[in-house]
Structure 1
């Protein structure tokens, strides 16, 4: 494992670029590897590769494209591991998917922003439930216990909240003249 790191004068440049692009890279990895733990692992490995090879990155070129390429290669490397989970499609399909994701980046950014705005509009108890389920990844049964509710009631509440968020995002997209 190479121990090469960027020169000190490029460390700040790397950190700024990575911070700017990290949400898109995380989304990209998650879309290519649907298991969150696996996509997080791949993204961490990709960041290490980027860090170690940053001296070869040319300032002024497209960091996002370079970083996505690194992530994509780490995805391929992950998929070839004998211990990996079953992947739903072949590498050729993965390559097509990756290029489609790049083409949809602005739309995905807009939807992500709309989702954040819509979540902020939810009542506190709904935001808490969404956070427990989708950010903390708690199982429904644990959420029910935590909230002192029945499991079926939590399922129904989450379903209503998701429909509400979908309507809110759809409305935001229509206002901006974008398609759903």
Structure 2
């Protein structure tokens, strides 16, 4: 892999995981200015060690591990300045482990949700896309699908319930019951 390809791949992976990485850091560091500094240090460390990252493995987990090391470094520096640190390093490690487990659970749920959405009728997928993909207000969705606002709220509610049942494994069919297609 040449340097340009390597840089492009890094930027792409970082862009995909940046918001979650920032949320991870802010979870452990209360002041946003400190969290921003740690996040920048983490990104720099990730770039410097990107040649050690194995493409195809979990970039998010790798990035969070690097961030956790920066958080520990920050805490050690702050610990010398102040005795007001609330959590021990062991406690932070347990929280980080719980966070990783939660990430795995969310990823599994997202995979299930994608599969359930794929089972919806094209009309229902369009309604979801308009409302949540394009983030249109329900009034605009209703106008686009030629339904009343009340009917649009009703179909959205039924679709969400069907998707919830599908993701949780309690529903056999993701088609909302007795819902006419537009």
TM-score, normalised via structure 2 length? 0.53
The corresponding residue for 2:63 is 67
The corresponding residue for 1:16 is 9
Structure 1: any 5+ residue segments left out of the alignment? 1-7, 34-45, 74-91, 173-180
Q: 2 CA distance for matches of 1:123 and 1:141?
A: 21
- Write the mapping of 1:1-180 to structure 2, written as runs, cut at 5 A: 9-17=2-10, 19=12, 23=16, 25-26=18-19, 50=43, 55-57=47-49, 59-60=51-52, 63-65=59-61, 67-68=63-64, 69=67, 99=96, 100-171=98-169
Structure 2: any 5+ residue segments left out of the alignment? 27-38, 72-86, 171-182
Q: 1 CA distance for matches of 2:59 and 2:24?
A: 19
1:27–1:153 distance in 2 versus 1, CA, 3 Å: farther
Q: 2 CA distance for matches of 1:138 and 1:129?
A: 10
How far apart are 1:65 and its partner, in Å? 4.3
Q: 2 CA distance for matches of 1:170 and 1:21?
A: 31
Runs of 4+ off more than 6 Å: 30-33
TM-score, normalised via structure 1 length? 0.54
1:67–1:117 distance in 2 versus 1, CA, 3 Å: same
Q: 1 CA distance for matches of 2:22 and 2:157?
A: 26
- Higher RCO (C-alpha 8 Å, min separation 6): 1
Preserved CA contact (<8 Å) 2:131 2:138: yes
How far apart are 1:142 and its partner, in Å? 0.7
Q: 2 CA distance for matches of 1:14 and 1:122?
A: 39
How far apart are 1:104 and its partner, in Å? 1.4
Q: 2 CA distance for matches of 1:137 and 1:31?
A: 26
The corresponding residue for 1:89 is none
Q: Give the total of aligned pairs.
A: 129
Preserved CA contact (<8 Å) 2:46 2:63: no
